[in-house]
Structure 1
Amino acid sequence: MITSAHICYESSKNNLELQLLGTLIEKNTNWKTMPTEWSDCGIVIPQLIVLTPTPFIIQIENDPEWVPEENKEFAEWAGLSEEDELFLKLSRCDARLAIQSTAPDQITFTGKEVIAFAFGGAVDPRNSEISNVLEIVGKEISGVLNDCVNEELLQY
């Protein structure tokens, strides 16, 4: 799935579970949530669907092999200096919430290559209902939003 946004955070300061996120969202918004999962090739990834008018999925990414380095790269891509407060905060983030569309990716296998089409499947973090949910979650975990759709970073 193509990720529309990430909310990066420090896992040592936040013991996140999808069920707790669902409760937080339902308590502070008008939207319901529903647990789900993605599975393929024996891999199962728990997810949470947020039932805003444009539903979206949240999944926790916390693999220490690659998540911390990618979080730091978000600051580098934004052109932040290593002394910048936001750069330093992202450098400490070792986990993140991936915000994804519920629309399935369109994937074509040609025998020699795999072609993935993600057009139209992005969840816009600036959409008012979605941004409200992201802000509630982001503030709760003192996170940093990496908005992949609009190419911006936002500190909560």
Structure 2
Amino acid sequence: MKALKTISILFACCITISVFGVTQSNEKTLKRERIETIREYLQSLSGVDSRKINLLFEANGTVISTSKGEIDEKSFFNGFLSDLTSASVKNTYIYQAINDENHYGGRFNFSWVEKNGTSSGGTYMDDFIFVNGSKKLEKVIMFENKQLKP
């Protein structure tokens, strides 16, 4: 009887360790996927590709920007990027919030040339809010500082 009790306890411990290990592995995978989503977002900005950016968001994704306020992401990126001929993203840093697993940040220099020939750019801090348990973006909040030129 004592042996059966010992085996039961060991079995319960193995299941707990196994489940904990799978959970940690899934969390690491999701973190990597989210960082990759942010990289794809920045590459798509640099490539002036609103279609690729749209695919990174959930169906009702939103953007909050200093220029447009809160707007659905498709309207924002389809409008803004369609006015550009080229763009560049440099000096990228990606951060994860320590108190919210769905919240990441990115700092980067973003410069572009509009179809009318006007050049612009600045240093940006974007907050990336992910759908819980997903690599899809729910919202991006943009902060710009045009004083700090790329």
**Is the pair's TM-score, using the shorter chain for normalization, greater than 0.5?**
no
Query: Relative contact order: is structure 1 or structure 2 higher (C-alpha 8 Å, sep ≥ 6)?
Result: 1
Higher strand proportion:
2
Kindly indicate which of the two structures has a greater share of residues assigned to helix.
Answer: 2
Q: Which structure has the greater CA radius of gyration?
A: 2
Compute the TM-score of the two structures, normalised by the length of structure 1.
Answer: 0.28
